[in-house]
Structure 1
Amino acid sequence: MASAERTAELVREQQQSQEREQRIQDINSQIQTIVLEPRTDAGLRTPSIISQGEFDDQDQPYASSSQSHSSGATSSTGPPSARIRMPVGQPTWTHRVSASFSAMADQIAAASQAIALIPPMPDAVYGQLSARMEEIEATQQHLESELAGLREQLAAMNEGPEKFQKQLDDHIAAFKLEQQRLPARLHNSMVTVSKMAIKALIMANGKPPPQFPATRGEFEHLTKERYEALLKSYDIPLTGLKDTAAKRDALKSFVGLPQ
């Protein structure tokens, strides 16, 4: 029912709009008729010939009616400045134009009243439009986030080969370093007596750390500062190693000494 009433209301509004357009066209046609139709009103004076001695706007004399009708030769060879003045019925013209514009004002006022009678937008329609606008804004934000992600992926793809090559080189270097440390670890794994000699593992620069203990017994009795220095030389993090025993066990496991 609401849809049928809305349709009927739209039809009525369309008919009113067509009627207003038809009225405006009628007013325009009336104005054109007023401007273009010949002056045949009874109140208008008939054309008269300017008598001899009258002057036009440029102060040029005109020939009188007696001179223009005295003879055929005279009328055909008279001065070219002779012409007829057409008076205009000024009161009738003003009245008709005033009446036309008055009718136009009435039509405009009627159109304004008809527009004022158009009901405002229902709350349901306004709510639907608001919900639609919120949905569009949410979609736009989602698209912007996806676009930002695509830009990051493109940037990663552009720097991908160089970054991957660097990571590969780092892994290869670490693997080679561990291979070089393997013989020393194998030797240290068989040291079980305090007097037995141990071997120092090389650092990342290919050299052994300074002041590395020579025997297992000497290794077991290093100070806390010596353990920390050796761990740092091998790039072993000190996080979680709170006491000396923890630092010693971490370094012992790294160099391959048995517990």
Structure 2
Amino acid sequence: MRVLVGVKRVIDYAVKVRVKADKTGVVKDNVKHSMNPFDEIALEEAVRLKEKKIAKEVVAVSCGPTASQETLRTALAMGADKAIHVEVDAATAEKMEPIHVAKILAKLIEKEKFDLVILGKQAIDDDANQTGQMLAGFLDWPQAMFASKIEPDGSTHLKVTREIDGGLDTIKVKLPAVISADLRLNEPRYATLPNIMKAKKKPLEKKTPADFGVEIKPQTETVEVSDPPVRQAGIMVDDVQSLVSKLREKGAIP
């Protein structure tokens, strides 16, 4: 089984994001970036499948500017066997949307013949949660989104457990399939120094969207990016009646 894992370079989750003065986006220059946390989970699950001898090869792919190669090297250090960088310039990367990434991945998969795709359920920069679903649609493959547990079920199926509002939903998907990883699927490993050094010798192939016949043409337009409203301070009340009165004043209850 060959497994493809999508990894995206995003602003590090620990960084406080600042909006640009002209409100066209967020400040990315001189800001720490790292692999999208959900993609780390997806990669960890793929590597574990390889360690269990279920998967034979794990390939990491990223669409983005030159700096995305750092993220791919991290993926190689975490256990991926090979990396593919679909390179675009920084300006084009800003215009890339889930539909573009899904189209590129679909063409790549048709060419390289993968058996399983594992993606993070969403990226923490746009929170779109669309790429996996679109990819499954383009490929006409079964999908299992928001996986919290993945188990082999024979040689041609996987049993996937998903957390839903009412409890747990367990489904069986036939390979090839697309799966997206939720937070509780696993705990990603750290890349050790020896593995970081080994990653430098692992193959990293460079491609462009044109190689897959995909044109990066924006489908949406960002009108304005603004900070969320500042939360107002709370007030103390003496009793329930005062609480009800205050809630009525604010229009929270009739």
TM-score range (shorter-chain normalised) is: under 0.3
Greater Rg over alpha carbons, structure: 1
Q: Which structure: greater helix fraction?
A: 1
TM (norm. structure 1) is 0.16
Structure that is richer in strand per residue: 2
